Amino acid sequence: MNKFNILALAAITASSSITLAGLGVELGDGNSTATFGSSGQDSWIVDGIDHLYAQEFYFRRAGDNDEQNINSLTLLGQALTDTNPFSDTRLDTINSLYTDGNGIEIETNYRIRGGTAGSNNSDIAEQITISNTSNSTISLSFFQYVDFDLGGDFSDDWGQITGGNVAQQFDDEFAASETVVTPIPTLFQMGDAEDMSDLWINGQADTLNGDSSYQGDVAWAFQWDITLQAGESFLISKDKSIVPTPGSMALMTTAGLLGTRRRRA
């Protein structure tokens, strides 16, 4: 999706299907809802089970000593839309545009598609557009951080990253998968969720280490190292799904014992 025009967006907010909104919103479709709070996406409920603890986006300019959560930036505009009103009247798409006030604009777009009741299937398509609105070249690193708690718990999962762009996570009943359609991330990392969450806003510039599997409280991250010329944009396109997978814990038989640490506060 191309960057939406803020003036045009403001002009159509009287429409019943599109409204400007603050943070703390919910999308819904079929058997699924997803909520977005002050740090990013903080739930994905499918047939009554919340499978997601957090998804957040961070960036760091070249030369900076720490990352910033994009939700800490200035929100220029936000639109909620119902793209399939004849089958489900709830809002199912959120489009947000942020700026750091110094030449970087980041637009995020999420669209949820739920399955039929009881199917335990759901899908979220995502696009992120990073634009250089300055007159100079900008280099930055952009990060996606994901912490699924499949089945509503956190200590019994196993995950892997394959091909540099596909993350998969399993527990005894469900599987989550994310495919980065384009472009392939520069780096990736899968590991313990608490350790992974400590990578961000910790007073130092972090680089992902390439670890591709973990068992326990799984989380993962992707990193894109980007150089944008003046006026140039960079588009990331991804798709996530949750499906039921009875017996998927058999995949863990060679991976060792389950992690049992306490959930972080």
Q: What is the mean pLDDT of residues 207-219?
A: 97
Terminal Cα-to-Cα distance of the chain (whole angstroms): 36
Among 44-48, 124-128, 218-222, 254-258, which stretch is predicted with the lowest mean pLDDT?
Answer: 254-258
Give me the chain's average pLDDT, please.
Answer: 87
pLDDT in tens, 231-242: 999 999 999 999
DSSP assigned state of 70: G
- One-letter amino acid for residue 128 of the chain: I
Neighbour-count burial of 116, counting CB atoms closer than 10 A to its CB (0-12 exposed, 13-18 middle, 19+ buried)? exposed
Whole-angstrom Cα distance, residue 25 to residue 198? 26
Q: Which helix (H) or strand (E) holds 46?
A: strand 41-46
Cβ neighbours of residue 223 under 8 Å, at least 6 residues apart? 141, 142, 143, 185, 186, 187, 188, 189, 207, 208
Q: What percent of the chain has pLDDT over 90?
A: 81
pLDDT in tens, 3-62: 333 333 433 332 333 334 445 899 999 999 999 998 999 999 999 999 999 999 999 999
pLDDT at 167: 97
pLDDT at 156: 84
The three-state secondary structure class of 144 is strand
pLDDT in tens, 156-211: 899 999 999 999 999 989 999 999 999 999 999 999 999 999 999 999 999 999 99
Tell me phi and psi for residue 89, to 5 degrees.
-85, 0
> Do the Cβ atoms of 97 and 109 come closer than 8 Å?
no
Look at residue 91 and tell me whether its pLDDT is greater than 70: yes
pLDDT at 10: 35
Neighbour-count burial of 49, counting CB atoms closer than 10 A to its CB (0-12 exposed, 13-18 middle, 19+ buried)? middle
pLDDT at 248: 45
pLDDT at 23: 55
CA atoms within 13 A on the CB side of 125: 10
Rounding to the nearest 10 degrees, give the CA dihedral for residues 241, 242, 248, 253.
Answer: 70
Structure tokens at 244: 């039921």
Look at residue 258 and tell me whether its pLDDT is greater than 70: no
Q: Which domains does the chain have, with CATH numbers?
A: 6-252 (2.70.98.40)
Neighbour-count burial of 133, counting CB atoms closer than 10 A to its CB (0-12 exposed, 13-18 middle, 19+ buried)? middle
Compute the Cα dihedral for 184, 185, 187, 190 and give only its sign. negative
- Least Cα distance to 94 among 114, 109, 77 occurs for 109
Q: Which residue has the tokens 């969720």?
A: 193
pLDDT at 257: 35
Look at residue 265 and tell me whether its pLDDT is greater than 90: no
Beta bridge partners of 241: 123, 177
- Residue predicted with more confidence, 262 or 138: 138
Look at residue 111 and tell me whether its pLDDT is greater than 60: yes
pLDDT in tens, 124-148: 999 999 999 999 999 999 999 999 9
